[in-house]
Structure 1
Amino acid sequence: MTKPQHDSDVAFIEALAELLNKSGLAELSVKREYGEHDSLNVRVTKYAAVVAAPAAPAAPAPAASAAQAAPAAAAPAATDGDPAKHPGAVTSPMVGTVYLSAEPGADPFITIGATVKEGQTVLIVEAMKTMNHIPAPRAGTVKRILVEDGSPVEYGAPLLIIE
């Protein structure tokens, strides 16, 4: 039994992609029911899944900034693999926008080489207009900051490395 063609499906998917771009969301998932045994499941994502692209060590490269350039000696040891697999990696608990300071123009919560205490706020992830303070899971020294201020992050994406 073949599935009937629905001419509106292409237009529907294009509209979802446009909505994704306009809204600032990273992903949409929709199920469209046509009848008892006929439906369309659509998942539109703005970014490739981290799992689908395991050979993506280039992802941390755009996060390099002038503040991170000084401790170049620490960088080579940490770039040997996927930063998400580093034992000191702090990952995003949600999809959102990451901020390195409490407000624009304010001093950042952390800098490379800074010593942090367990529970100390290291950055903020904004999700659905809610500012979520991300605490340091352990005490240590910030070795790398893998994201830029104001950049979008996915669930599980590495944000920084604390050793």
Structure 2
Amino acid sequence: MSRLLVDADAIRALAEILTETGLTEIEIAEKDNRIRVVRAAAGALHAVPAAPVATAAAPAAAMPVDPAKHPGAVTSPMVGVAYLTPDPGSPPFVTEGQSVTAGQTLMLIEAMKTFNQIKAPRAGTLKTLLVASGDPVEFGEALAIIE
């Protein structure tokens, strides 16, 4: 009978990385040892023993759709922090379900202490806002969907 050795320090370090980065799952593997730490929905952390997992190709319909590939996607032109209001006490520039016109400000992205307006590239209805105020955004990340 083999005995499972648990490296509590490694689990704590991985849990700390999850907390710092906002990730929901992390796994490390070294030779025959694996440690996987998963954040539960309520924010609790669980160490899950990783076992070999057989993967099967999922049908194309089950694959998640990349919002950046949506024809109505408004993508971030830069890395920064998104803000949906001009200042903390003001109402948002736009809300989901609202009609927008081409050139209308949807949000701001702060990059290097400069606030850059993100404008609607076309008229339509704002179907979905994909970011919240204060969220960090990456270049090319989908920010909103206009249909």
Report if TM-score (shorter chain) is over 0.5: yes
| Other-structure match for 1:152 | 136
Are 2:78 and 1:101 equivalent residues in the alignment? no
1:136 and 2:127 aligned = no
Report % sequence identity: 58
TM-score normalized by the length of structure 2 = 0.57
Which residue identity does 1:160 align to in structure 2?
A
| In structure 1, C-alpha distance between the alignment counterparts of 2:96 and 2:108, rounded to whole Å | 17
Which of structures 1 and 2 has the bigger CA Rg? 2
User: Offset at 1:105?
Assistant: 2.0
For each residue in 1:26-64, what CA deviation from the matched residue of structure 2 results, as whole angstroms up to 9, or x when unmatched?
Answer: xxxxxxxxxxxxxxxxxxxx799xxxxxxxxxxxxxxxx
Where does residue 112 of structure 1 map in the other structure? 96
Higher helix share: 1
What runs of 5+ residues in structure 1 fail to find an aligned partner?
1-20, 22-45, 49-78
Question: For structure 2, which runs of at least 5 residues remain unmatched after alignment?
Answer: 1-19, 24-62
SS at match of 2:77: coil
User: CA–CA distance in 1 between the matches of 2:118 and 2:64?
Assistant: 26
Deviation at 1:82, TM superposition (A): 1.0
Q: TM-score, normalising length from structure 1? A: 0.51
- Count of aligned pairs between the two proteins: 89
Partner of 1:121: 105
Please report the RMSD computed on the Cα atoms of aligned residues, expressed in angstroms: 2.1
**Which stretch shifts more, 89-98 or 79-88?**
79-88
